[in-house]
């Protein structure tokens, strides 16, 4: 008799789907920043709709919303060391929701550096998966709260603010 690996076939649970709704606060925050364009605001409205209906697989589309702070002098090699990128991002792509807040440093390219807030969360929507469906290292509200305090990460050189809001097939 063969030993079969159990495949999780259920969809994400209602509690998790309800928690994901809090991401609409992040969407509102980013799309209402003073440097958001009308195109950003239009796409943000659609992303909020997609989040509200994330339980409905028929409405799934690929999208992202990101708030980034860059230090162009470090990124372009003018200065040699330091944090060159601070980001808060939410991606929904290929039936996976990914939420990340991290700093990128010249000597430690990924994840956590220093005393900054670092966050990682994923939720897989595929119906037949073998992996863990849900992982959030801390509450989504902590991610949102840190993003709303993005100005504490701005320095004299880490000061180039950008947002990216996009939807694609």
Distance of alpha carbon 30 from alpha carbon 169, whole angstroms: 22
145 alpha-carbon distance from chain centroid: 13
Q: What is the pLDDT of residues 101-147, one digit of tens each?
A: 998 887 665 555 666 788 999 999 988 788 889 999 999 999 999 99
Interstrand relation of 119-124 and 62-70 (parallel, antiparallel or unpaired):
unpaired
Q: What is the pLDDT of residues 65-77, one digit of tens each?
A: 999 999 988 887 7
Q: What pLDDT is attached to residue 8?
A: 46
Judged by DSSP in three states, 2 sits in coil
Kindly indicate the confidence band of residue 5, based on its pLDDT and cuts at 50, 70 and 90: very low
Distance of alpha carbon 109 from alpha carbon 92, whole angstroms: 23
Q: What pLDDT is attached to residue 10?
A: 61
Q: Specify the DSSP element, H or E, that contains 164.
A: strand 160-168
Q: What is the pLDDT of residues 78-106, one digit of tens each?
A: 887 888 889 999 999 999 999 999 988 87
Q: What is the pLDDT of residues 17-42, one digit of tens each?
A: 999 999 999 999 999 999 999 999 99
Q: What pLDDT is attached to residue 1?
A: 40
């Amino acid at each position: 008799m063969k030993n079969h690996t159990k495949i999780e076939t259920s969809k994400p649970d209602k509690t998790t789907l309800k928690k994901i709704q809090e991401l609409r606060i992040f969407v509102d925050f980013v799309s209402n920043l003073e440097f958001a364009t009308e195109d950003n605001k239009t796409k943000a409205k659609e992303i909020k709709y997609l989040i509200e209906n994330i339980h409905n697989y028929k409405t799934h589309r690929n999208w992202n919303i990101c708030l980034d702070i860059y230090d162009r002098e470090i990124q372009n090699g003018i200065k040699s060391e330091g944090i060159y990128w601070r980001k808060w991002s939410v991606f929904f792509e290929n039936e996976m929701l990914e939420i990340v807040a991290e700093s990128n440093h010249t000597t430690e390219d990924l994840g956590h550096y220093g005393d900054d807030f670092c966050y990682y969360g994923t939720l897989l929507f595929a119906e037949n998966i073998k992996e863990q469906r849900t992982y959030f290292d801390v509450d989504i509200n902590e991610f949102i709260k840190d993003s709303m305090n993005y100005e504490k990460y701005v320095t004299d050189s880490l000061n180039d603010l950008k947002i990216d809001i996009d939807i694609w097939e």
